[in-house]
């Protein structure tokens, strides 16, 4: 695209009406709506489209900035969707006049997005219904397949800024849905029974002689039994199953005493009812199960919209273009075999390890390594699967099937499979290991002791010990504490896969850090321009050329150079992925990659760095190199972390930053450079075999193995909707320096749980003394059991909130 223009005399900042981006060049104005500025034709077209369909309410709702659109065009990239087999694999329902497709749209971020997407049927005729599930970032579209193809839908969505994530994992239905429904049924049924049992138990407390009506008392007893049956069967089923599974493996888990408590309470009540000696503990039992179910539900509630289980399939495309006798055909990437020639176009992902057949290309490995600068590749070079092509289409010959690529082979690694099956003992399990045998031996001991004097007293003692010692408070305090903490972590942009992760975080002693993309920004860079020699006038020309480019490196160079950047532009041409060639003030200015600026220029910059060469009037003036900037506040964080943990740094890059890292993290830090994904996995394994418990913090697919292998794998993402490899936690990039404070908060869970444990033990001791003295009146136990539950839950939640508010204060700087 060549643009001839006179630069304006002063730099004015404009703000795009559509996407809100700030820009400094001449705004594009619509023919119809002259008062609005747009940063590009894409934004203008979307605005005009929305205006025409009367959907401008979008802009009133849009309080954040909107989606920025590169270009509005028929997208060649989605050509493979014309292949019926591939298009149909996306549909969840299909008939002659109706088809249903679900898309994952990670770009959705505000209510305006919902508005626009739910009015999609107005934009595209043939769409029957569009429904957004915002927490999951999903769009369900019902459309008429006679009028509309999947490809058109995908292209339109992409054009308005919501490019669907199309990948091999898209059709895997969430299995957790069914389970969480059952959880809700259980809460509903437990609540129903609990409420009614409370009501039916009410007359019992009124007077010593009850209602004085044997008929009604019998009716109440029968209703009590009827109402408790679903509670001890359907609602508590999971406890029996888990206790039995534990016993079969010869372990006494927390569910054993809970199950025994439930059953003891049930049979004791049944016995009292049948022999008409008392009212039983039906309401207590109902309440107990209701609260236990609530706790379980909270524990299950996770960050639904985030996916922690990505494997390589959710990253790779659905299909690839195979060249057969010079003709292109779309094939599923699983069908690619070594020797196939594939055509990969701009912005597409290399589907399998391959050898470049075309002359040269630029590869963006940011998803793989976190490194944001594209790398130049030449004919015969190996392109690793997962890299993104920048620039023109390239042809490559497949070396290995997709599933055995350099990166994806990690998923076939033996150690990796074992890691997935690793059973983890959480804090409740650890406590119950001591607690359960204690309670059981106390109950049996009491039973044996009393059976010498009276068998019926012995039975009573056995049952009441089991009832009172039922560790419901213990079973409840952990889920309530952890789920509150998980919520507070979420507010700090640390998202945890499940509450167990908090417990594991408290136990780590070693932190393994990736460098690029984790300790450094992925985008912002610092410039080293010591090898650049230009006078002020020349700087002014280069600055002017940079001003006309939107490329991130041009923007950085623009900020770095002195001058105003207002020289006269005679000719400007930007070649995507290569550089700028312009004529400024009558002088030819070339800025870009080595081979672009001058063919055969010797490599001078260090190979790990991104280097931009500058030539004026065909004379090379030198180069500037860019390095990733360290994250803000990292130094402080590094000092705190290395004071409390053993730090290991694993980097795929060269060791040029080693001295700086050592200065920040201290001399005792272990560092490894030039690490392959498998190396990283093995380093973690090595540390674990030495008895260390490891937290791995990293981004990119090359850390995937290490993230999965470590006790806690924390993926760093610039934005939580962005792709991140399988992990236990997702941390927003800018929050990496907050890691010490966040770990501190996770550690405070130990104190909270200890306090709660003390509380519930106190209850148990008081209760047991009542039980052993033989004066356990139904009134006392009926009041004490729900009361202890509620106290413990309230205490857990309020402590977690209190500590979190301290954390918040610490983090607001």
Partner 1 sequence: MEIIAFLMGVSLLVAAFFLYAFIKSVKSGQYEDDYTPSVRMLFEDQQEETNP
Least Å distance between CB 137 and partner 1?
Answer: 11
Phi and psi, residue 375, nearest 5°: -110, 140
Considering only residues 220 through 239, tell me which ones interact with partner 1, judged by CB under 8 A.
Answer: 220, 223
Pattern 35-64, binding to partner 1, x per CB under 8 A? Answer: -------------------x--x-------
Residue closer to partner 1 (CB basis): 188 or 774 = 188
Least Å distance between CB 294 and partner 1?
Answer: 14
Nearby residues of 598 by Cβ (< 8 Å), 6 or more positions away: 590, 613, 615, 618, 620
Helical packing angle, 739-772 and 500-507, nearest 10°? 110
Q: Residue 41: in which H helix or E strand, if any? A: helix 41-52
Q: How far apart are CA 63 and CA 612, in angstroms?
A: 38
- Among residues 286, 292, 197, the alpha carbon closest in space to that of 238 is found at 292
Least Å distance between CB 695 and partner 1?
Answer: 31
Least Å distance between CB 184 and partner 1?
Answer: 5
Pattern 378-407, binding to partner 1, x per CB under 8 A? Answer: ------------------------------
The reply on whether position 184 binds partner 1 by CB under 8 A is yes
Beta strands 694-698 and 712-717, pairing class = parallel
- Among residues 784, 783, 790, the alpha carbon closest in space to that of 756 is found at 790
Q: How far apart are CA 14 and CA 30, in angstroms?
A: 15
The reply on whether position 188 binds partner 1 by CB under 8 A is yes
Residue at token pair 């369900």: 140
Q: How far apart are CA 791 and CA 779, in angstroms?
A: 18
Residue closer to partner 1 (CB basis): 28 or 223 = 223
Pattern 327-346, binding to partner 1, x per CB under 8 A? Answer: --------------------
Residue closer to partner 1 (CB basis): 118 or 272 = 118
Least Å distance between CB 181 and partner 1?
Answer: 6
* CA dihedral over 776, 779, 782, 786, signed as positive or negative: negative
Beta strands 569-575 and 2-3, pairing class = antiparallel
The reply on whether position 563 binds partner 1 by CB under 8 A is no
The reply on whether position 686 binds partner 1 by CB under 8 A is no
Task: By CB under 8 A, name the one of 32, 56, 76, 211 that touches partner 1.
Answer: 211
CB atoms within 10 A of CB 127: 20
Residue closer to partner 1 (CB basis): 136 or 345 = 136
Window of 184-192, 464-472, 501-509, 724-732 that interacts with partner 1 by CB under 8 A: 184-192
Task: By CB under 8 A, name the one of 213, 562, 686, 798 that touches partner 1.
Answer: 213
Q: How far apart are CA 813 and CA 803, in angstroms?
A: 17
Q: Is 506 strand, coil or helix?
A: helix
CB atoms within 10 A of CB 532: 21
- DSSP class of 231: I
Q: Please report the beta strands in 401-532, taking only residues with DSSP state E, as ranges in sequence order.
A: 494-496, 510-514, 520-528
Task: By CB under 8 A, name the one of 3, 76, 85, 199 that touches partner 1.
Answer: 199
Least Å distance between CB 486 and partner 1?
Answer: 17
The reply on whether position 192 binds partner 1 by CB under 8 A is yes
Considering only residues 108 through 147, tell me which ones interact with partner 1, judged by CB under 8 A.
Answer: 111, 114-115, 118, 122, 128-129, 131-136, 142
Task: By CB under 8 A, name the one of 16, 124, 157, 200 that touches partner 1.
Answer: 200
The reply on whether position 195 binds partner 1 by CB under 8 A is yes
| 729-732 β-sheet, strand order | 494-496, 729-732, 712-717, 694-698, 510-514, 646-650, 670-672
The reply on whether position 561 binds partner 1 by CB under 8 A is no
Binding site residues, partner 1, CB under 8 A: 54, 57, 111, 114-115, 118, 122, 128-129, 131-136, 142, 177, 180-181, 184-185, 188-189, 192, 195-196, 199-200, 211, 213, 215-216, 219-220, 223
């Amino acid at each position: 695209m060549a643009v001839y223009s006179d630069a304006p005399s002063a730099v004015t900042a404009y703000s795009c009406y559509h996407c809100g981006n700030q820009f400094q060049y001449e705004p594009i104005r619509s023919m119809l709506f002259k008062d609005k500025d747009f940063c590009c034709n894409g934004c203008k077209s979307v605005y005009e489209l929305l205006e025409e369909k009367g959907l401008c309410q979008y802009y009133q709702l849009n309080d954040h900035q909107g989606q920025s659109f590169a270009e509005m065009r028929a997208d060649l990239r989605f050509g493979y969707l014309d292949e019926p087999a591939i298009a149909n694999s996306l549909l969840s329902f299909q008939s002659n006049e109706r088809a249903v497709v679900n898309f994952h749209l990670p770009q959705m971020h505000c209510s305006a997005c919902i508005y626009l997407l739910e009015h999609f049927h107005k934009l595209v005729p043939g769409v029957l219904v569009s429904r957004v599930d915002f927490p999951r970032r999903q769009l369900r579209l019902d459309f008429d397949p006679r009028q509309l193809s999947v490809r058109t839908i995908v292209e339109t969505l992409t054009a308005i800024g919501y490019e669907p994530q199309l990948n091999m994992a898209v059709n895997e239905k969430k299995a957790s849905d069914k389970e969480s429904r059952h959880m809700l049924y259980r809460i509903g049924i437990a609540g129903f029974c609990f409420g009614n049992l409370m009501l039916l138990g009410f007359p019992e407390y009124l007077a010593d002689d009850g209602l004085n009506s044997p008929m009604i008392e019998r009716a109440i007893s029968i209703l009590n039994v009827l109402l408790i049956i679903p509670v001890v069967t359907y609602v508590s089923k999971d406890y029996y199953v888990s206790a039995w599974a534990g016993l079969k493996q010869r372990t006494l888990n927390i569910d054993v005493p809970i199950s025994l408590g439930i059953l003891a309470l049930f049979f004791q009540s049944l016995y009292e009812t049948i022999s008409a000696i008392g009212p039983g503990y039906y309401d207590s039992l109902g309440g107990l199960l209701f609260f236990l179910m609530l706790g379980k539900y909270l524990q299950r509630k996770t960050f639904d919209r985030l996916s922690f289980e990505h494997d390589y399939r959710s990253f790779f495309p659905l299909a690839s273009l195979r060249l057969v006798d010079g003709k292109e055909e779309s094939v599923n990437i699983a069908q690619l075999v070594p020797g196939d020639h594939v055509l990969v176009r701009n912005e597409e992902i290399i589907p399998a390890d391959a050898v470049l057949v075309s002359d040269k290309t630029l590869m963006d490995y940011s998803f793989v390594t976190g490194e944001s600068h594209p790398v130049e590749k030449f004919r015969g070079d190996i392109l690793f699967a997962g890299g993104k092509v920048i620039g023109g289409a390239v042809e490559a010959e497949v070396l290995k099937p997709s599933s055995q690529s350099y990166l994806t082979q990690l998923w076939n690694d033996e150690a990796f499979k074992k890691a997935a099956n690793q059973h983890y003992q959480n804090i409740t399990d650890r406590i119950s290991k001591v607690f359960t045998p204690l309670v059981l031996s106390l109950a049996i001991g009491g039973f044996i002791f009393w059976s010498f004097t009276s068998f019926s007293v012995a039975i009573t003692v056995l049952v009441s010990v089991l009832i009172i010692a039922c560790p419901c408070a213990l079973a409840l305090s952990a889920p309530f504490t952890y789920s509150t903490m998980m919520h507070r972590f979420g507010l700090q942009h640390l998202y945890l896969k499940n509450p167990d992760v908090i417990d594991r975080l408290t136990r780590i002693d070693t932190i393994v850090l990736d460098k690029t993309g984790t300790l450094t920004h992925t985008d912002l860079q610092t410039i080293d321009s010591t090898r650049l020699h230009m006078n002020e006038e020349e700087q002014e020309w280069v600055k002017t050329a940079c001003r006309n480019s939107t490329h991130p490196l041009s923007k950085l160079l623009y900020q770095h150079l002195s001058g105003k950047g207002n020289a006269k532009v005679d000719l400007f041409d930007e070649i995507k992925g290569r550089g700028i060639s312009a004529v400024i003030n009558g002088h030819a200015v070339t800025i870009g990659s080595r081979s672009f600026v001058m063919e055969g220029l010797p490599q001078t910059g260090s190979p790990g760095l991104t280097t931009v060469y500058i030539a004026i009037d065909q004379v090379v003036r030198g180069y500037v190199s860019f390095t990733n900037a360290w994250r803000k506040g990292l130094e402080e964080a590094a000092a705190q972390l290395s004071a409390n943990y053993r730090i290991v740094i694993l980097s795929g890059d060269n060791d040029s930053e080693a001295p700086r890292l050592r200065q920040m993290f201290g001399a005792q830090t272990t560092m490894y450079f030039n690490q392959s994904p498998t190396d990283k996995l093995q380093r973690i394994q090595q540390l674990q075999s030495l008895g260390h418990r490891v937290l791995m913090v990293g981004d990119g697919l090359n850390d995937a193995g290490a993230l999965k292998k470590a006790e806690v794998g924390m993926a760093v993402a610039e934005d939580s909707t962005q792709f991140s490899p399988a992990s236990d936690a997702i941390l927003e990039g800018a929050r990496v320096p907050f890691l010490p404070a966040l770990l501190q908060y996770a550690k405070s869970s130990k104190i909270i749980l200890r306090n709660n444990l003390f509380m519930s033990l106190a209850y148990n001791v008081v209760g047991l003394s009542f039980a052993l003295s033989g004066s356990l009146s139904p009134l006392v136990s009926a009041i004490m059991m729900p009361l202890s539950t509620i106290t413990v839950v309230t205490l857990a939640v309020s402590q977690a909130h209190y500590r979190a508010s301290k954390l918040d204060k610490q983090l607001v700087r």
